[in-house]
Structure 1
Amino acid sequence: MTSIKIKRVYEDFAESDGFRILVDRLWPKSIKKENLHYDLWAKDLTPSSNLRTWFHQDVENHWDSFVASYQKELAQLTNMNTYINEIELHPVVTLLYAAKDPVYNHAIILKKYLDTLLQIKS
């Protein structure tokens, strides 16, 4: 089964990262495209712009509602199986995110969501 990890995009590349998926809708600030080692940029796995903007207005107090809303958005993605099929091809997948906060960020939610889908499928 695939192991999914998360990592800030600003951390150094490591071979142990496996297949690296950038999971931010916007390109990370201060990183040139040629300097970031990533295998896939999955913009549509990210929260919608409206949800992201609302969440960042009050991160800690909006967290629980953000989690529920983001999970609903993920459940509505018509191409989720395409991502799951790609992820299953790799023993290790690392989701790359740019958020500064290691506790309150969408990559944590996405990892749990993908882990659940992989468990259901296996």
Structure 2
Amino acid sequence: MTREPVIRLRRVYDAPDPAADGVRVLVDRLWPRGLAKAAAGVDEWPKAVTPSSELRKWFHAGGSAREFRERYEAELAEPEAVAELARLRSLAAAGPLTLLSAVKDPASSHAAVLAELLSD
């Protein structure tokens, strides 16, 4: 019997929850503004699975959410990202995995796309 992975989405600015977070993984390309590394409680920062700078700039210039998702999934199909996704799946299988982002609503962001791919 295989255990369903527990993958949580949280804002990196929220205080760590040691009882529930498990491994805390920052999934933003840039370090969050105004947050000290010691206060963040980030265990991993795998930049290979973060949206590229070009993709972020394109989206913030008015790109659609649907096309963002397609482009992001294409980036996640690159060999380095595929290897990192496999490693993150292993971490999620071993215990809770919390994906952290500075966005205001992680459930409507690239972190949600990543969580979905990790759950497959």
1:110 paired residue number: 114
After superposition, where does 1:1-122 map in structure 2 within 5 Å?
Answer: 1=3, 2-15=5-18, 16-58=20-62, 62-89=64-91, 90-116=94-120
C-alpha distance 57-75 of structure 1, shift in aligned 2 (>3 A): same
Partner of 1:94: helix, strand, or coil?
strand
d(CA) in 2 for partners of 1:23, 1:102? 10
CA deviation profile, 1:10-41 (whole Å, cap 9, x unmatched): 11110201111011110000101121101111
By how many angstroms is 1:102 displaced? 3.8
User: Percent identity at matched positions?
Assistant: 39
CA contact (8 A) 1:19 1:93 kept: yes
By how many angstroms is 1:100 displaced? 2.0
d(CA) in 2 for partners of 1:99, 1:32? 17
C-alpha distance 36-92 of structure 1, shift in aligned 2 (>3 A): same
CA deviation profile, 1:31-90 (whole Å, cap 9, x unmatched): 01121101111112111111111111226xx10000011001001133533442354243
Which runs of at least 4 in structure 1 moved beyond 6 Å after TM superposition? none
CA contact (8 A) 2:103 2:109 kept: yes
Compute the RMSD of aligned alpha carbons.
Answer: 1.7
Partner of 2:28: helix, strand, or coil?
coil
Bigger mean CA deviation after superposition, 25-34 or 50-59: 50-59
C-alpha distance 5-65 of structure 1, shift in aligned 2 (>3 A): same
C-alpha distance 102-17 of structure 1, shift in aligned 2 (>3 A): same
Bigger mean CA deviation after superposition, 85-94 or 63-72: 85-94
